[in-house]
Structure formats: C-alpha cells, structure tokens
Amino acid sequence: MSNRRNLFIIAGLALAGLAVVVLFFDLPEGSEIFKREGCISCHSFKGSGGSAGPELTSVTSRRTDPWIRRQITDPKSHNPSSAMPSFRHLSRKEVTALIRYLKS
Ligand code: HEC
C-alpha cells in the first residue's frame, strides 16, 4: 500500500518537473529578441544601445505591462507621429519575453 503511494508521489513529481522544463524551454529569450529585432539600435538598456528612443532601464516602473505590450505592437496608438516601428509580427510569447527582459 505504502509502496504504491510512493510510486504515485514519484510519478507526480516527475510530471511536475517535466512541466517546468517544458515551460522553461518554450519561452523565447527576451535579450535575444531585443537584439534580433533591433530594439537595441534605438534604445539603451543596462548601459548599452542606441539613443534614438528613450532609455529603457527603468521603463517597467514607469509603465504597465499592457502599456508596454501596446507600445511594442502598435506604437502609433500612443503617439501618432511615433518614430518607433510597429512590431506586430512578434508573437504574444515573444512580447512577454521582451517585457520580462525589460524587468530584469
Ligand atoms: C527606430 C527606432 C526604434 C526601434 C527600432 C524601437 N524603438 Fe522603442 N521607441 C522609439 C522611440 C522614438 C520611442 C519614443 C516614443 C515614441 O515616439 O513612440 C520609443 C518608445 C519605446 C517605449 C516606451 C518608453 C517610454 O519611456 O515611454 C518602449 C517600452 C519601447 N520603445 C520598446 C521597444 C522595443 C521592445 C523595441 C524592439 C522590439 C523597440 N522599442 C524598438 C524608437 C524605437
């Protein structure tokens, strides 16, 4: 009886571990997207990057996550004459990864 219970506990832990690993590896790396998409050519973050756009080091304390998400996918919704290109082609997960990176 107790053996069987242990088996259930071990199987449960193994499944939980697997879920964590899958979730972790499924998330794209925000720092990579920041470079790949050229955010870094206009924005400085943690001491390096361009200066065409505002410095982003503490942006997540000034702006909410939904605001930043909108700025990334549709900057003209905040400022009709925005010089920032729209990154509509990014997936929801990629934008989430970018925001998480900006919080780091
Ligand atoms: C061609 C230059 C350019 C690129 C590339 C660019 N931005 Fe911007 N960004 C700007 C400018 C200029 C602003 C200032 C507000 C405006 O004009 O919309 C801005 C504003 C922002 C803001 C709001 C900052 C604040 O203090 O209010 C965030 C967040 C942001 N950009 C994130 C990104 C991310 C993430 C990327 C890459 C996916 C990116 N930007 C790519 C030029 C750029």
**The model's pTM:** 0.83
Each domain of the chain, given as residue ranges in start order, spans 29-103
Query: What digits encode the pLDDT tens for the residues 87-104?
Result: 999 999 999 999 999 999
Question: 15 or 79: whose pLDDT is higher?
Answer: 79
CB 100 within 8 A of CB 30: yes
> Reduced to 3 states, what is the DSSP secondary structure of residue 15?
helix
Cα of 76 vs centre of ligand 1, distance in Å, is 11
pLDDT of residue 24: 66
Residues with CB under 6 A from ligand 1: 37-39, 41-43, 52-54, 56, 59, 62-63, 68, 71-72, 75, 78-79, 82-85, 87, 98
Nearest residue by C-alpha to atom 32 in ligand 1: 72
For tokens 């505002």, what's the residue? 54
State the CB neighbour count (10 A cutoff) for residue 72. Answer: 20
Q: Which CATH class is domain 29-103?
A: mainly alpha
- CA distances to 8, 24, 53, 70, 74 from 56, in Å: 48, 25, 9, 15, 17
